[in-house]
Amino acid sequence: MSIQVLTMIIVGASFALYIAIAIWARAGSTKEFYVAGGGVHPVANGMATAADWMSAASFISMAGIISFIGYDGSVYLMGWTGGYVLLALCLAPYLRKFGKFTVPDFIGDRYYSQMARRVAVLCAIFVSFTYIAGQMRGVGVVFSRFLEVEVTTGVILGGIVVFFYAVLGGMKGITYTQVAQYCVLIFAYTVPAVFISMLMTGNPIPQLGFGGKEAGTDMFILDKLDGLSRELGFTEYTSGAKSTIDVFFITAALMVGTAGLPHVIVRFFTVPKVRDARKSAGWALLFIAFLYTTAPAVATFARVNMVNTINGPEATGTEYAKAPSWIKNWERTGLISWEDKNNDGKMFYSGDERNEMKVDRDIIVLANPEIADLPAWVIALVAAGGIAAALSTSAGLLLVISTSISHDLLKRDLAPDISDKKELMFARIAAATAIVLSGLLGIYPPGFVAQVVAFAFGLAAASFFPAIILGIFTKSMNKEGAIAGMVTGVLFTTAYIVYFKFVDPAANNADNWWFGVSPEGIGTLGMMLNFVVSIVVSRMTPSTPIEVQELVESIRFPKGAGVAHDH
């Protein structure tokens, strides 16, 4: 049976499962649509949170970045993992104690201002759209290769599936669908890693194998890769090219951006009690660790196999006419291309002027089983896992967009008298509209998957994180300070990213960056500006009302079993 047929069967079966779960768990009320009724078990919520968290960037693109740039790619591992710990310890229990459905809901009530709510809604929509562009792009990349369709067609197919289980099922349908998606994506990620680790090192544990010796030799895998990198004109795999300040700023932006991501925060409102929020955070960290500790091994194995396959055992190039099938397959998608510069009919891959290959870094995880010549069912399984990762996060983001519009903007601000039925209708209309717009961003993305997602994290860091942290831990922070800080942070970060990525991309290098900080890391500086502006403005404006100070005091001590309020 061909790879394409197997892929269609496995992916089709997974789609049928997701849609069936969404129909079974269809939301019948606003509370079920927004927070799954507040009755999800901590283990199930931990698994759903992990699936929500591990997007196409984690599954498809993170190992690709590490594979291509080596040590510097570790910023994504450190930032995303550390950020989740920060979220679980410093934010989740307190927000859950507050008992609101969404981040704009918290900001609007904590800062006793409809204007603060509106700013938070706009930030939530902006961040979510930026993030979801990467997810829809990931879906398109998977479909374009394994179903042999255009990326555009793949994005449309993914949007249709998300429509069914996100728009109809709401958070209740999404939660139980994400449990299934986690099982699919983690199985799809680890199975080929175990296979390849056994083949290359004889060790079935990838996390240990990539730090060990190559099978049948006395050379460590990483030493071999460093040697190959030097010979081919690349930076040594275990050495970093980025400046220390840029590494720090990118890692910090990813960490605090994680803690400000609205689609992850809302997951902690789906459990019955505050202590359950803490438990589900711990379970989610365990489930996330399975993939994140495997990613460096996947990246290393893929890099060695790819270089050896393209350049041949003697590193003199492989005849294009005899190129392995995976190169020809991915060429049809446009994500790999070859230019015969010296007219010798051989492919050659290097980091200098000898290079004849253009390889998109987003294909590494998906192509890895093909490069290693694994069975067709493993290749199909990886395709299903990549789609599951992208769709699970897309659903969570779409829900944030729909609830921001229907609940935070309409019900809590512009039209407080609308019924639950109408609110639910507007939520579904908003989600459907968001699917169409996010699909366009997936078809015309502003960068590769993980880079686009990094921008979203930077925007979340610069907008939400200071407002949430100061709202929880500082009784004196008032509405004027919070609004001024959010607006300053998000405008500065957006302007910096837009300038270097769209207005003058030729200037996008360390010589022109402010303080040597890249667009991927500028969210940290935006966050710092947010903090400074918030504190300065709050000191120059009227103090926070006594009742709000008392509210903050109650949030800071999340004892008991606070239950999410109905609205």
Show Cβ contacts of residue 534 under 8 Å, excluding neighbours closer than 6 positions. 466, 467, 470, 477, 481, 482, 484, 485
Closest CA to 222 of 234, 239, 205: 239
pLDDT reported for residue 30: 60
Q: Which two tokens stand for residue 96?
A: 């859950």
pLDDT at site 560: 46
pLDDT of residue 193: 92
The overall pTM is greater than 0.85: no
Q: How many CA atoms are closer than 13 Å to the CA of 96, on its beta-carbon side?
A: 32
Collapsing DSSP to helix, strand or coil, 154 comes out as: helix
Q: Which residues of 420-435 are buried (b: 16+ CB within 10 A; e: fewer)?
A: eeebbebbbebbeebb
With CA atoms as reference, report the closest residue to 399 among 209, 2, 95, 131. Answer: 131
CA dihedral for 236, 137, 451, 380, sign (positive or negative): negative
* pLDDT for the residue 527: 94
Q: Which helix (H) or strand (E) holds 265?
A: helix 262-265
pLDDT of the residue at 28: 57
Q: Which residues fall within 8 angstroms of residue 504, CB to CB, at 6 or more apart?
A: none
**DSSP output for 108-145:** HHHTT-HHHHHHHHHHHHHHHHHHHHHHHHHHHHHHHH
Residues paired with 359 in a beta bridge? 336
Tokens of 266: 């809302």
d(CA 220, CA 227): 11
As a whole number of angstroms, the distance between CA 455 and CA 446 comes to 10
> Which stretches in the chain have pLDDT values below 70?
25-39, 100-101, 145-147, 165-173, 260, 262, 445-454, 557-567
Please give the pLDDT value at position 465.
87
What value, to the nearest 5°, has the Cα angle with vertex 155 and ends 151 and 160? 150
The reported pLDDT for the residue numbered 526 is 93
Q: What is the pLDDT at residue 535?
A: 95
Domains assigned to the chain: 3-302+374-556 (1.20.1730.10), 303-369 (no CATH)
Q: Rounded to 10 degrees, what is the CA torsion of 549, 417, 398, 98?
A: 20
pLDDT of 532 reads 96
